[in-house]
Structure 1
């Protein structure tokens, strides 16, 4: 049922047909300037009309319409409604009767007592205040919803501009493989590229999560890290453990498991192809409890020769993951191959200097 959009007009299609015939309803124009002027006339502030919003013909004059042969009348282009209702003489009255009414003198008795009169401004203020009171609950709800949306949008923009909060940036598989491979071969080169190109590469903490794999693929095993966390929670005392690493020889062979080729060098980056070398060793990391009885392999990598710098970086990644579980690693065990000696130097350690310390009454020598 159409009704007039002007806030002070109560004309509806049913009441119009009962009270007075010939009242029509006209939709808001599509032209922006004219549409804005129509909205201002309604007196609804920032209200926006819908497709079915209309204004009745009481707010237009007869000169604002174009009457077609069919009898339908249309508004002229650019016509602006008036907020006050325009009084239009009925077409059923003849010109002579109108002139007679105009020429007929009329006398109105005016009382001198004005004590109980109220000013028009007060009446208008009361009408507008009552109208606002009827609109307040719904409008207040909409304003609260808009305020909440604006506040959330502002917080997101501030967090994005200041770098605060967790980053939800998604990296493509190609960039992920490139980042893991570059960090594996040279951590210093990775940091240089990241700083030079304005942090286009993820942080090292993100790489540690990417190194974790589920389902037995090369890398640090997420199930093993989770098992260590459960062990720490179920133990009432701090757990002390040792970390061991060693290389295990494997057959140089490429196999198809039904989904992908297996046997290439794999450091958890997921890079495949004929350009990737064939692995000949598996570098395994094992955590052994010292004051607690357990042994957990935390990860492995398929390699074809790995230098000391790369080993040192993998050890640091492993130690950081284990530290997050709450286990304290106090020793590192490995064999004496040249690559491991170079790894120790990259970690700024030395196994050549031997210190003798007597810290008990007994002659016990501790090698540090």
Structure 2
């Protein structure tokens, strides 16, 4: 039995209407969404390959979640602020950042990845759920400053079991914060299925805190765009937070250190593969004759060019001097950090002395 959710594009690529979430998109916009999803998937696949080759320490794959990320991020305005989790590579691309920033972080040559102020997207958070609390505080601050922007926080279904997320929901509700909580329910919190985490659909968590929750087909890029756009507009107009549950599926492993075959039924994966978000939009573009074979080939070629650039750049990255990490621990100088740096430098120098 299918769950009830907002859907504007069926797995067969047919446009359907929803009474509360109508959206008008041009053929050019549809092609742009398709291309963005292709680039996100190809960059993600390159991350998996590079980790397997020993070039990256870890890689969390987004495979299957491209529509949820590209659709929602495409609804975000330039002056809005984004707080991602650690799997939101599509969101990073949609915000205009070079994905190479992500690769630097997972290679261990960058302390964070990028300047959050450059594109109003904050750094990846590996601590489960903590960014949701950060986003809520930021939203409360923007409202206090009189800004007309909104904040969106990305997290997974597993994070909804964290105390930080419940605290964020409560603060956002009480203070009517202009924040959208975007939960990508990919069905698995590492090896724990959603039914082991909640007895009700996750979007209904919002009911207990006093703000609306909505479930959207997370493999439908148009529905994700429409629902997120409405929630962000609602936040900016002073109506407070919204919880969006994007019902999707993690087709890859939790990270490259995970083996999903140990806990996941292969039949489940086959069922979800038939709902693939990229092939769904391609079917629609072909059905409506909005794109031809040349366009699809060009999108694939763009993905290959991106992958090649990422591959070559990662392999040629110089390893930073370890002492540099002391310089970026705090925004300014700190006496304890300086003491630790001096101790490290003395220790490092002792090896050179021993060689002589």
Shorter-chain TM range is under 0.3
The structure whose Rg is larger is 1
| TM-score normalised according to structure 1 size | 0.19
Higher RCO (Cα < 8 Å, 6 or more apart)? 2
